[in-house]
Amino acid sequence: MALQFLPTSKQEIDAAGWSSLDFLFISGDAYVDHPSFGPALISRYLESLGFNVGILPQPDWRRPESLLEMGVPRLGVLISSGNLDSMLNHYTARKKPRSQDAYSPGGQPGLRPDRAVIVYTNLAKQVFKDIPVIIGGIEASLRRFVHYDFWDDALRRSVLFDSKADILVYGMAEHSLKRLAQGLNDGKTLLELSLVPGICYVAGQQPEKGVILPSYEECLEAKTAFADSFRLAYQEQDPIRGKTIIQRHTDRFLVQNPPAPLLTTKEIDYIYNLPFQRTHHPRYNETGIPALTEVKFSITSHRGCFGACSFCALHFHQGRIIQARSHDSIIREATAMTQDSQFKGYIHDIGGPTANFREPACKKQLESGACRDKQCLHPLACPNLNVSHKDYLQLLRSVRKLPGIKKVFIRSGLRYDYLMLDKGSSFLKELCEYHISGQLKVAPEHASAKATALMGKPSIAEYDRFREKYERMNESLAKKQYLVPYFMSGHPGTTLNDAVFLAEYMRDQNFQPDQVQEFIPTPGSLSTCMYYTGLEPFTKKTVHIPKGEEKAMQRALLQYKKPANRELVLQALRKTGRFDLIGTGRKCLVTHGQTKTEKWKREPEKKVKKRSIKR
Ligand code: SF4
């Protein structure tokens, strides 16, 4: 029988009546028993297969013995940094420490180390000696090949080499972990398990067959080699046609087996209907876990994304082919929510990486995999694309009719270009009527055509068409609901002129964002590859990379009305020769006149001039 919560201490193991653990899961996040939290999802899944799993959340990495608090597990140690890459979790786009950690008790920062997968695995190898160590989750998965690390500003080897783990499970781990766990339980060796799909391991000899990526040393030597490495790895990530991928690191080889098979609807239903408590472990009763608030009453409807936004590496982790839960399974979860004493009748979200991608992009994908050299929505929608929202609509209608449910919101991102392709559908009408609470957030990301093309996003003209349609729809429904667009600064390929163009677009829309999204080159994304190499890896065309002061100016232009940004905006406008935008005219972004800081900055120049005259 499933436990209410999985044990997190020796006392809880004793209380469960277990003599020891089969698997110990070391997590960089606090333990929240909710399916939106990877460590809980995987641990509950292994529990359902009959294994005794304990979760050691955020152990003190300064004391190796803290990893032994729950004893030595019988079969293996599983390690994940948590729901986010630990470096992204800890540092801002300007590499400054973040003041909050939403995945820690009370939002307290500093409870997991930087590069958590490497640190925990090194410790586990010290204290557990011969017990197999398996790493997984987003940090391990997106750092599985040679990758660019923004925080080091350098290429790093596959995380398997730095961590010294035995196996890395990439992508969605259930299939692979099931085979590994059962194999270990049957007494199989790691060598015997090295053919399990969905894993990476280190080999002393190069396997006979596989796609060979440029080696670590070749990538260090030439940025073009790293661009090739990225492109090849990107194209082969497909559960149907994906091949073995090999990357040499000095005298050893990183081997990635083909991806694990897709989960069937039955399998994914099984996973999401495991007995989650949908709350944090009682040890956090006093502090709570901030990240839970957003997702406590949210439902994952599917995995995978065929959107291919360049700055997102999710399709490199979850894949391009949608794997969706059945309506029954989602309705069961929604019904269970209504029994929760804290539930007020509002479901915050039914979605996934992209809310309105609930069905596979096309039939062909399921037979021969997603196209190797073509994207489903970009630059233009593929003629084979299934654009129907029928299934999603039907699901939303069923859930909102359930007793005890007042509203069902959609908070996951929607692709409005995809929505617009479904002509004649009532999706937009029902979205505005039932599933928005005053505002809809969407992500056009930029106004410049060059920028949106490199970002893998639709043009701003497409966004404008959607905005008009959205406004007309709300008017016809007599609803006052707004559209909140997200824009990004500093993406590879964007120049200062592009940023000025975006600022002008926002001025014309009478819109100023409260928050600015600054591009961060996170591991594993296409944009990160561009950032490091200065090349678009598929076309090999040179891409401008905004850095330093230019990056700061681009960011400031997004909030040109903010007094604190005035000086940078003035600099940007002078640099681009856009003096027409300085002044008091209707179209101007900032006024003339000197701020104190400007005055102060000019003084040293004068002094230098005087000195040079004297000489
Ligand atoms: S045929 Fe079109 S919709 Fe199908 S996978 Fe290829 S690009 Fe995507």
Residue 321 CA to residue 376 CA, distance in Å, equals 11
Q: Work out the end-to-end distance of the chain between its first and last CA atoms, rounded to an integer number of angstroms.
A: 89
Residues 100-121 pLDDT 10s: 999 999 999 999 999 999 999 9
E strand or H helix that includes residue 101 = none
Q: Are residues 432 and 444 in the same domain?
A: no
> Residue 593: its pLDDT value, please?
66
Residue 467 domain-assigned? yes
Average pLDDT score over residue span 125-133: 95
3-state secondary structure of 252: strand
Backbone angles phi, psi at 27, to 5 degrees: -125, 140
Residue 613 has pLDDT above 70, yes or no: no
Residues 281-302 pLDDT 10s: 999 999 999 999 989 999 999 9
**At 428, which CATH number?**
3.30.750.210
Residue 71 domain-assigned? yes
Residues 453-467 pLDDT 10s: 999 999 999 999 999
Residue 183 CA to residue 177 CA, distance in Å, equals 9
Residue 83 domain-assigned? yes
Residue 602 has pLDDT above 90, yes or no: no
**At 487, which CATH number?**
3.30.750.200
Residue 614 has pLDDT above 60, yes or no: no
Q: Are residues 428 and 454 in the same domain?
A: no
Average pLDDT score over residue span 210-225: 98
Residue 425 CA to residue 390 CA, distance in Å, equals 8
What residue's CA is closest to ligand 1, atom 1?
A: 384
Residue 240 domain-assigned? no
Residue 612 has pLDDT above 60, yes or no: no
Which of 436, 455, 481 represents a domain boundary (last residue)?
436
What residue's CA is closest to ligand 1, atom 8?
A: 376
Average pLDDT score over residue span 362-389: 94
Mutate to test the pocket of ligand 1, among 364, 375, 377, 386 (most ligand atoms within 8 A of CB): 364
Q: What is the DSSP letter of 493?
A: T
Residues 61-108 pLDDT 10s: 999 999 999 999 999 999 999 999 999 999 998 899 999 999 999 999
Residue 136 domain-assigned? yes
Give the domain extent around 315. Answer: 297-436
Q: Are residues 402 and 470 in the same domain?
A: no
Mutate to test the pocket of ligand 1, among 262, 322, 362 (most ligand atoms within 8 A of CB): 362
> Residue 264: its pLDDT value, please?
96
Q: Are residues 488 and 369 in the same domain?
A: no
Residues 155-190 pLDDT 10s: 999 999 999 999 999 999 999 999 999 999 999 999
Q: Are residues 465 and 514 in the same domain?
A: yes
3-state secondary structure of 465: helix
Residue 557 has pLDDT above 90, yes or no: yes
Average pLDDT score over residue span 318-341: 96
CA of 176 to the centre of ligand 1 (A): 27
Taking the whole predicted model, whether its pTM rises above 0.85 is answered as: yes
* Number of domain units in the chain: 3
CA of 208 to the centre of ligand 1 (A): 31
**Which candidate, 446, 453, 540, places its Cα nearest to that of 486?**
446
Least confident piece of the model among 51-60, 113-122, 307-316, 347-356:
307-316
Residue 262 domain-assigned? no
> Residue 294: its pLDDT value, please?
87
Residue 47 has pLDDT above 90, yes or no: yes
CA max distance for the chain? 90
Which atom of ligand 1 is nearest to 361's Cα?
Answer: 3
What residue's CA is closest to ligand 1, atom 4?
A: 362
> Residue 615: its pLDDT value, please?
29
Residue 214 domain-assigned? no
Q: Compute the Cα dihedral for 369, 372, 376, 381 and give only its sign.
A: negative
Which atom of ligand 1 is nearest to 371's Cα?
Answer: 6
> Residue 2: its pLDDT value, please?
84
CA of 512 to the centre of ligand 1 (A): 37
> Residue 594: its pLDDT value, please?
54
Q: Are residues 107 and 160 in the same domain?
A: yes
> Residue 347: its pLDDT value, please?
97
Which of 381, 410, 436 represents a domain boundary (last residue)?
436
Q: Are residues 75 and 199 in the same domain?
A: yes
Residue 12 has pLDDT above 70, yes or no: yes
Q: Are residues 394 and 540 in the same domain?
A: no
Which atom of ligand 1 is nearest to 320's Cα?
Answer: 5
Q: Are residues 431 and 470 in the same domain?
A: no
| 3-class SS shares of the chain: helix, strand, coil, % to 5 | 40, 15, 45
Residue 611 has pLDDT above 70, yes or no: no
Residue 251 has pLDDT above 80, yes or no: yes
Q: Are residues 251 and 321 in the same domain?
A: no
> Residue 603: its pLDDT value, please?
41
**At 156, which CATH number?**
3.40.50.2300
Mutate to test the pocket of ligand 1, among 354, 357, 365 (most ligand atoms within 8 A of CB): 365
CA of 379 to the centre of ligand 1 (A): 12
Which atom of ligand 1 is nearest to 362's Cα?
Answer: 4
Mutate to test the pocket of ligand 1, among 320, 368, 371 (most ligand atoms within 8 A of CB): 371
Ligand 1 site, CB within 6 A: 361-362, 364-365, 370-371, 374, 376, 382, 384-385
Q: Are residues 69 and 85 in the same domain?
A: yes
> Residue 439: its pLDDT value, please?
93
What residue's CA is closest to ligand 1, atom 7?
A: 376
Mean pLDDT of the chain: 94
Residue 182 CB contacts under 8 Å (≥ 6 apart), including other chains:
49
- Alpha helices by DSSP H, listed for 363-495, are 363-368, 390-400, 416-421, 427-434, 449-455, 460-476
Q: Are residues 447 and 429 in the same domain?
A: no
Residue 386 has pLDDT above 80, yes or no: yes
Which of 379, 401, 436 represents a domain boundary (last residue)?
436
> Residue 515: its pLDDT value, please?
83
Residue 369 domain-assigned? yes
Mutate to test the pocket of ligand 1, among 305, 320, 373, 374 (most ligand atoms within 8 A of CB): 374
Q: Binning pLDDT at 50, 70 and 90, where does residue 516 land?
A: confident
